[in-house]
Chain A
Amino acid sequence: MSIQLGLYFASLSLLTFGGLSPLIPEVQRYIVDTKGWLTPMDFMQLFAVAQAAPGPNVLIASLIGYRVAGFTGSLIALAALCLPAAALTWVVSGLWERLRNSPWRPLIQRALLPPLVGLIFAGGYVIATPHVGGLTLQAIEHQAFETVAQVAEIVQGRAPKGAVNPQHATRLAKMSSRSEA
């Protein structure tokens, strides 16, 4: 599973412009819908944790890796997501250093500053306006109804569909006896 996970994240690496956030719907489709490694609720929760945690937002890959395949999975997922992009950066920065004495360089430097300052302001604004990155209305609706269905099953003393380790859900039986009492 770690290997599949690694190959998947490696294939996303060169698409992570601006971090992983724009690709979250795609990751959710693969991990939750295609592979069934996580429930939609689990995925939402990991997304929330990654938003709150410090560090680059690509760290959500290590959370997914951890849930799917333990510590090895977390390291493989993060490395796979970062390495191809890092290799590209390595090559491009080499080319860029070679431009050091070009007459274009001061021109480019002056041109870069206003858009970059604008982007950082916009970044602050985007953080300040609560939003769930990349989740469509249908996805939210789907998840809301799935939650309702899961709660209903738990109340009736059954493990919900897709639950992890249902055989260990020893307290579920008490739920149903309580609700019948």
Chain B
Amino acid sequence: MSGTLAEPAAAPPRTRWELFVGFLSIGARSFGGVLPPAYDIMVEKRRWLTPADFTETIALCQLLPGPNIGNASIVLGKRWFGLGGAIVAFLGLFALPYVWVLALALLYTHWAAHPLVSAVVTGVGASGAGLFMATAVKLGQPIARKPVAVALMAGCVLAVAIGRVSPLIVMPAAVIVGMFFSWRRML
């Protein structure tokens, strides 16, 4: 695995229009979750961010109120183009899902009982779960060979998925533990 190699270079979007279109396509592909397309587009396709930048931004946004990727659009828009960038990125992210959710609500009231509709809803949920796992695997590559990091990660999975402890408790606690090991050079 390439986890220890130098990270590929990343360059921020050159124009607000590019920023807007990027977030528009994240919104367009956000069936089943916004995080997987956000990673795919910002890190892999458009290379605006390195994986480490992405992790840091998302982690910061997770600790703040508000939708995670919505917050990320504010943070990144601000970093690259100031207030105008934050507004453009935020509007780009919400534009298409907003239209779709209203359209879906109008359709759903008429077709809710149709088996095809519930099948589609279940299918979207299932694919969303898969996409989340795939994103976690990609992001986790740099820590795959560090036993302490893997143990810390596994602890978080168990606490949140099985124990259903709020991420608001798990995340700060795990970061403090992580800081200790990172200071001891074990991460």
Residue positions of A touching B, CB distance < 8 A: 13-19, 22, 45-46, 48-60, 62-63, 66-67, 74, 78, 82, 85-86, 88-90, 92-94, 96-97, 107-128, 130
The answer to whether B96 and A54 touch across the interface, beta carbons within 8 angstroms, is yes
Give the residue among A45, A55, A78, A85 with the most B Cβ atoms within 10 A: A55
Residue positions of B touching A, CB distance < 8 A: 27-35, 52, 55-56, 58-62, 64-71, 74-75, 78-79, 86, 90, 93-94, 96-98, 100-102, 104-105, 108-109, 112, 120-121, 124-126, 128-133, 135-136, 139-140, 142-143, 149-150, 152-157, 159-161, 166-168, 170-171, 174-179, 181-183, 187
* Contact partners of A97 in chain B: CB under 8 A: 79
Cross-interface CB contact of A17 among B27, B125, B150, B168, cutoff 8 Å = B168
Cα distance, A124 to B142, chains bound together (Å): 20
The answer to whether A54 and B27 touch across the interface, beta carbons within 8 angstroms, is yes
Where chain A touches its partner, the secondary structure class is: helix
Cα distance, A121 to B159, chains bound together (Å): 11
The answer to whether B121 and A111 touch across the interface, beta carbons within 8 angstroms, is no
The answer to whether B156 and A122 touch across the interface, beta carbons within 8 angstroms, is yes
* Contact partners of A15 in chain B: CB under 8 A: 65
